[in-house]
Amino acid sequence: MEIKIEDLKVLFSEEQLQTRIKELADEMNKFYNGEEVIAICVLKGAVMFAVDLVKNLDMPLKMEFIRLSSYGSSTTTSGKVNAVDIQLPDLNDKNVLIIEDIVDTGLTAKFLIDFMHCNFHVKSLKFCSLLDKKITRKVDVEPDYYGFEVDDKFVVGYGLDYDGLYRNLRYIGYKGSSPDGDYQG
């Protein structure tokens, strides 16, 4: 089975996404209170969200990009996180904000949080995900900030892909039934 563009239903419109992102940014602006932040975008899925979020943040901010993948041959996570590319500057004593597209099993989030604590003595570490599939969680991890909760459906658009496709959509959509195919972080 595959996902065709005409099968997609809108779950979160462009306007809903942008409104919620501004709310999240307001919360973060209050929390960081003008302190410098290192925002780490988890490629590829979080790219749209990270870009729109940081445009609404008003503290001194540096952006970093890392690439992970946790995919097998279906729309369910493989259960393994691969560090495809993690090259980071010295994050000791920094306010680190990790920006993800979606927390599903939680393996990626847990991997990243452990990675930061193992390698650096950060000043603060916050994990922000646009979407939170709480119902599919396998490890005990919660994002500090999230945009929307979603139930157990496969979603695409606004950075999230099905077989590499649909990242360019301005909205987040879904297809009712569960298709087979790769999603690549």
Cite the active site residues.
104
Return the one option of ligand IMP, Mg ion, none that residue 129 interacts with (CB less than 5 to 8 A, by type).
Answer: none
Instruction: Tell me if 45 contacts ligand IMP by CB under 6 A.
Output: yes
Residue among 25 and 103 whose Cβ is closer to ligand IMP: 103
Instruction: Tell me if 103 contacts ligand IMP by CB under 6 A.
Output: yes
C-alpha 102/C-alpha 125 separation (Å) is 18
Instruction: Tell me if 132 contacts Mg ion by CB under 5 A.
Output: no
* Cis upstream peptide for 9 (omega within 30°): no
Cα end-to-end span (Å), the chain? 20
Find all residues with CB under 8 Å of 131, minimum gap 6, and list them: 101, 102, 103, 146, 147, 148, 149, 150, 155, 160, 172
Distance of CA 65 to the CA centre of its chain: 12
Instruction: Tell me if 185 contacts Mg ion by CB under 5 A.
Output: yes
What 3-state class would DSSP assign to 135?
A: helix
Single residue of 12, 32, 38, 101 touching ligand IMP by CB under 6 A: 101
DSSP-derived secondary structure for 10-57: EEE-HHHHHHHHHHHHHHHHHHHTT--EEEEEEETTTHHHHHHHHHT-
Binding to Mg ion (CB under 5 A): which residues in 73-112? 101
Q: Which stretch binds ligand IMP (CB under 6 A): 4-12, 30-38, 55-63, 107-115?
A: 107-115
Instruction: Tell me if 52 contacts ligand IMP by CB under 6 A.
Output: no
Return the one option of ligand IMP, Mg ion, none that residue 52 interacts with (CB less than 5 to 8 A, by type).
Answer: none
Single residue of 49, 100, 127, 145 touching ligand IMP by CB under 6 A: 100
C-alpha 158/C-alpha 13 separation (Å) is 10
Phi, psi of 162, rounded to the nearest 5 degrees:
-125, 115
Return the one option of Mg ion, ligand IMP, none that residue 95 interacts with (CB less than 5 to 8 A, by type).
Answer: none
C-alpha 21/C-alpha 49 separation (Å) is 8
Q: How far is the CB of 182 from ligand IMP (least distance, A)?
A: 10
Contact set with Mg ion (CB under 5 A): 45, 101, 185
Contact set with ligand IMP (CB under 6 A): 45, 70, 77, 100-109, 154-156, 160, 183, 185
